[in-house]
Amino acid sequence: MATLASRLNFGTARQLEVLGAMEGFIRKQIEAHKERRKLWFPNELQPADANSSPEDEALLTRLRDAARGIPVAVLVALALNLLTEEGLPHFHRLIAVHFGSGNVWAEWNNTWTAEEDRHGCAIRDYVRDARLYQMTEVEKLQYAYLEAGYDPDWEQDPYRLLAYTSLQEKATQISHSNTGRMAGTAEPRLQRVLAHISGDESRHYAFYRAAFGEILAQDPNQALVSLQKVTLGFSMPGHTVTNFDQMSEVIRRADIFGPRQYQKIVEELLDHWKIGALTNLNDVGEEARDKLMKVPKRLQRIADYADAKTTKRTFKFDFLPADRPSLEI
Ligand SMILES: [Fe+2]
Ligand SMILES: [Fe+2]
């Protein structure tokens, strides 16, 4: 019978050994994850059943009224959140390509994908029912994003994938919950949808953080090198979306997500994994550890610089509603 390591696709001999030996650990993490989660479905948040009741129809009218009060910056953030979530095929594929099939990692990938798939559905159900956007414009962005493919330069390093997902799950959690909070005054229903999604992201974060923590324990030198590369070069999952730069600039200016939020994530992870206290490393590991410990300061400088040169600007997007096609922020 093929060993687990032989069913993993990429990695050095040592990485395959480490990841293969983690089968029991990952299985326990999957079980703990399933105990922590409460499975929810998009239809429970935004019902669309056959023979809908008069209350359901009245809800749609209330929803469309409330949606007009959602700030335009929130509309931009929500559009990017939707595009990112609907980019799920990219991420399922990346995990499948790096971790192969017929093993415990693939089992996690399937569970994770089933959970993530509801995120795009739930946001899309909401934005469609609320008539938030020029939907064809959103769909064109979505189509282009998927058709372009997505291949981050991880150099076939499976540790980088797990470092990336640790950072990315926390980043999406913050992005969804801040978007929801800013929408909440005008539209508590949208906040509720985003709170469900953000809850999932925090449990995914716990899974990947534990998985990468185990890698750090088993293979610290290589793990630090991989983590350092990903942390410095981190881009949000939707960064290849057309107009991503303008959208993420609005989101930064609205204080939903930007270098300041990313800095906090890096600090939290460095602290959780006790990176600064790691000893018994080789020269390469020590160098990576020291570089990593300098990342928060560097991110702070980036955030300060961005704030200092920010002056009000007008942003316009084709997907925004015709009566509110732009915003000044
Ligand atoms: Fe998600
Ligand atoms: Fe997630």
Rounded distance from Cα 283 to ligand 2 centre (Å)? 35
Rounded distance from Cα 48 to ligand 2 centre (Å)? 25
Q: Give the pLDDT of residue 319.
A: 98
Question: Which tens digit of pLDDT belongs to each residue from 183-204?
Answer: 999 999 999 999 999 999 999 9
Rounded distance from Cα 310 to ligand 1 centre (Å)? 30
Q: Give the pLDDT of residue 237.
A: 77
Rounded distance from Cα 320 to ligand 2 centre (Å)? 26
**Which residues neighbour 81 within 8 Å (Cβ) at sequence distance 6 or greater?**
123, 172, 175, 176, 179, 194
CA nearest to 173, candidates 250, 81, 242: 81
Question: Which tens digit of pLDDT belongs to each residue from 215-272?
Answer: 999 999 999 999 999 998 888 778 888 899 999 999 999 999 999 999 999 999 999 9
Residues with CB under 5 A from ligand 2 (ion): 169, 201, 204
Q: What percent of the chain has pLDDT over 90?
A: 85
Rounded distance from Cα 322 to ligand 2 centre (Å)? 32
310-314 mean pLDDT: 96
Question: Which tens digit of pLDDT belongs to each residue from 84-132?
Answer: 999 999 999 999 988 888 899 999 999 999 999 999 999 999 999 999 9
Using CB atoms within 10 A of its CB, is residue 185 exposed (0-12), middle (13-18) or buried (19+)?
Answer: exposed
Tokens in use for 173? 């959690």
Rounded distance from Cα 46 to ligand 2 centre (Å)? 20
pTM given for the model: 0.95
Confidence of residue 6 (pLDDT cuts 50, 70, 90): low
Give the end-to-end CA distance of the chain in Å, rounded to a whole number: 60
CA nearest to 247, candidates 116, 128, 120, 145: 145
Tokens in use for 109? 């990938």
Distance CA 317, CA 9 (A): 41
Rounded distance from Cα 5 to ligand 1 centre (Å)? 28
Closest ligand to 205 CA? Answer: 2
Residues with CB under 5 A from ligand 1 (ion): 85, 116, 119
- Using an 8 Å Cβ cutoff, are 320 and 70 in contact? no
Question: Which tens digit of pLDDT belongs to each residue from 275-300?
Answer: 999 999 999 999 999 999 999 999 99
Closest ligand to 238 CA? Answer: 1
Distance CA 196, CA 211 (A): 23
Question: Which tens digit of pLDDT belongs to each residue from 128-165?
Answer: 999 999 999 999 999 999 999 988 888 889 999 999 99
Q: Which residue has the higher pLDDT, 298 or 6?
A: 298
Q: Which residue has the higher pLDDT, 11 or 44?
A: 44
HEC secondary structure over 12-61:
CHHHHHHHHHCHHHHHHHHHHHHHHCCCCCHHHHCCCCCCCCHHHHHHHH
Rounded distance from Cα 1 to ligand 1 centre (Å)? 35
Rounded distance from Cα 173 to ligand 1 centre (Å)? 8
Q: Give the pLDDT of residue 302.
A: 93
